[in-house]
A and B are shown apart, each in its own frame.
Chain A
Amino acid sequence: MAGDAVQVPHTATGLDNRKLGMWAFLGSECLFFGSLIATYLLYRGRSVQGPFPEDVYDIPYTSVSSFVLLMSSLTMVLALNAIQRGDHRRLRAWLLATALLGITFVGGQVFEFTVFVREGLTLSRNLFGSSFFVLTGFHGAHVTVGILMLLTLYGMSLAGRLPSERALRVELVGLYWHFVDIVWIVIFTVVYLIPS
């Protein structure tokens, strides 16, 4: 980024270590979520008592949730574009929009979990319940952390502590946010859409 270019020459690689660290972290997160998804697939169809996925899944509802999270990636990248152009009003608007879309997604997930529990699916009910709640719960926790980071950036911008020279901070939060989005892209297809 133009604003962060002044910091680049201080590293041996010529690249910013914070961005390098974030990509290494995201690479390790692939392993984390990969293990949870593999566990879900391994246990799929092996529950001996219900409720089973087809009894509880509401595909239209989850599709709307997925769409909301997908669109939050657009608002996130528009926030980064705004700070790179020095447009702080738009930066705040897009950051807030991204956080609100994230809150909508997490709220939807909480509602979905509540419905599932009312229908008898709990963490300890069967293999499906255990693997499903652990996988989607960890994803929801990641989204929640992302929302907190977005709101922090919003507050910093309001306080005038997020000048264009610090656009890299928005980029790093953006990378994290897009990552939780791509994890959901995989979960939505593998967990919800592919029939057992």
Chain B
Amino acid sequence: MSTVREEYEPHGEAHLPAEDQAHPGPREYVLIAVVLAVITGLEVALFYVEFLSSTAVVTALLLLMTIKFALVVLWFMHLRFDPPVFKRLFVTGLVLALSVFLIVLLTFGAGLGPAILAVAFVLVVLGVLLGRPRFLRRA
């Protein structure tokens, strides 16, 4: 009996959407969790640092936040291994949210230049990590 998939994809496996790649094992998950814990420790340490300028602290905190976000999304939520359509759905929501967020701050917020630049930076990093452009896929 033919399935719906066969009706749409008569040529079989080669034309099917990418199936789940093998997910990581417990050891990799624990390793990711250790990295997340270390980054959280670094974030808290940065909060108490006095010899850095506030711009440097904010930039570092946003960078660390982005790394943590990406690690959870790519490994724990398996976006790195699952079919790209899930990634596109999520990134669409994320980019829309950040765009609205930027427009609101630009419209109503005064003196938020560094914050807006930082958020734009986060947006670019997220786009690169989640979108996995061609040049990264080849590597």
Contact = CB atoms under 8 A, between A and B. Distances in A.
Interface in A10-51: 10-15, 19-20, 23-24, 26-31, 33-35, 37-38, 41-42
A33 B68 CA distance: 18
A34 B98 contact: yes
Nearest to A80: B23
A59 interface: yes
A66 B37 CA distance: 10
A29 B94 CA distance: 9
Interface residues of B, number: 57
Given A12-B8, A20-B85, A31-B93, A178 B72 contact: yes
Contacts of B94: 27, 30
Interface in A67-122: 67, 70-71, 73-74, 76-78, 81, 84
A66 B32 CA distance: 16
B77 interface: yes
Interface stretch (A128-136, A153-161, A188-196): A188-196
Given A33-B97, A42-B105, A185-B68, A14 B86 contact: no
A contact face: mostly helix, strand, loop, or mixed: helix
A59 B75 CA distance: 28
A154 B105 CA distance: 43
Contacts of A186: 65, 69
Nearest to B15: A14
B114 to A, nearest CB: 11
B125 interface: no
A1 interface: yes
Interface of B: 3-6, 8-9, 16-17, 20, 23, 25-26, 29-30, 32-33, 36-37, 40, 43-44, 46-47, 54, 57-58, 61-62, 64-65, 68-69, 72-73, 75-77, 83, 85-86, 89-94, 96-98, 100-101, 104-105, 108-109, 112, 115
Given A30-B96, A42-B109, 16 more contacts: A14-B16, A20-B85, A20-B89, A23-B86, A30-B97, A34-B97, A38-B105, A63-B40, A70-B33, A70-B36, A71-B33, A71-B37, A74-B30, A174-B76, A182-B72, A194-B57
